Homo-oligomer: A and B are copies of this chain.
Amino acid sequence: MTEKKILLDHGSGGKISHAMFSDLILPLFDNPELRQADDGARLELRFDEGFDGGVDSKGTSLAFSTDSYVVDPIFFPGGNIGDLAINGTVNDIAMCGAIPEYISVGLIIEEGFAIEDLKLILKTMANAAQKARVRIVTGDTKVVPKGKADKIFINTSGIGKIPAGINVSGANAKKGDAIIISGTIADHGISILSSREGLNFDSDIQTDSAPLNGMVQDILNSGASINVLRDPTRGGLGTTLNEIAHQSGVDIEIREQDIPVRGPVRGVCELLGFDPLYIANEGKLIALVPEDEAQAVLEIIQKNEYGKDAAIIGRVSKKSEGRVYLKTTISGLRPLDMLIGEQFPRIC
């Protein structure tokens, strides 16, 4: 890490974010849980140590995750910062193979913020929590003077239960695994972008923000072997696949023509020069499953209300140092790198 000042890129979820994590944060805080570098930490319960009436954990463990939401604007087509904050943390926990149960909410509000807007956001959070079947059990509110924050920032942290026998991690990708995406990509990022001041244009593009824990349970309850689950948020599908390839030490190949992108989203991307592979999603997951189970898992996902556009988009080609390749419709195989910096800030 050679920079002297924090750049927007440090919050991008791309290469520069990763460098800050591995060069600065991980060495200082180092421990086995943090080193997993998954969407949430997997915590082994150790209730048997030195307690009266202690509990034998029998392999059950907890997932624990946190995210702060600083999206701008706070209201956008299809949602607002409130449901984004609930769904985002619900999904990070679900991606550990866990059942999300409890959510904390930390509000940082700018002085002068309209109470009506706060009410609407909190109501949206309550509805999202109900839909995802999680409970908001603890919270905190801070107010800072006008001009010291931008309207409202929300942190959510969450706890889920990982049933015994579940072992889902970005480090578990195996040669031959099929790569499934649960639906169209780039909807969230483009919905935010298209609702920004100065960039308003008519479109019916909405955020895809949704809770994916039901879908994850559908898959796990089927008894299918799932090696990796990940939601491609900041940095998009391209960056998340690079994370998986790196964590697992494998090469991944995806086929451009099989990646679902809505027409209007593709249109905006072409108009503004963005690559949908690097645009944030908030209601999509990537699942890596053994080839012979891929079709069955795909069908399970497609039956879920948030998975009807799911598709198999590629495979893990070999053990390697962790590269991702895109088979384009025109020019054959090209390397698909991680997003370097920030395409546009405050997307979530």
A interface residues (Cβ-Cβ under 8 A, vs B): 1, 3-12, 17, 20-21, 24-25, 28-29, 31, 33-34, 40-41, 43, 45, 47, 51-60, 62, 64-70, 72, 101-102, 104-116, 118-119, 122-123, 125-126, 129, 135-145, 147-150, 153, 155, 157, 159, 161, 163-165, 342, 345-346
Residue of A111, A137, A149 most packed against chain B (CB within 10 A): A137
Partner of A24 from the list B28, B102, B122 (CB cut-off 8 Å) is: B122
Contact between chains at A115 and B6 (CB < 8 Å): yes
Give the distance to chain B from A60, nearest Cβ to Cβ, in Å.
Answer: 5
The interface residues of chain B lying within 8 Å CB-to-CB of A116 are: 4
Q: How far is the CA of A70 from the CA of B142 in the complex (A)?
A: 7
Q: Which of B1, B123, B164 contacts A28 (CB 8 A)?
A: B123
Out of B51, B119, B153, name the residue touching A108 (CB < 8 Å): B153
Provide the main secondary structure of the chain A interface.
Answer: mixed
Check B70–A6 contact: CB distance below 8 A.
Answer: no
Residues of B within 8 A of A69 (CB): 142
The closest CB in chain B to the CB of A143 belongs to B11
B33 and A137 contacting across the interface, CB-CB below 8 Å? yes
CA distance A190 to B54 in the complex (A): 43
Distance to closest chain B CB from A31 (angstroms)? 5
Which of these, B20, B60, B148, contacts A150 with CB under 8 Å?
B148
Complex Cα–Cα for A131 and B55 (A): 27
Candidate in A45, A56, A143 with the most chain B CB atoms within 10 angstroms: A143
Bound CA–CA A3/B115 (angstroms):
7
Bound CA–CA A129/B58 (angstroms): 28
Identify the closest chain B residue to A114 (Cβ): B5
A6 to B157, CA, bound (A): 24
Q: How far is the CA of A74 from the CA of B144 in the complex (A)?
A: 14
- 4 further A-B contacts with Cβ under 8 Å, apart from A28-B126, A29-B135, A149-B149, are A5-B114, A24-B122, A52-B163, A66-B157
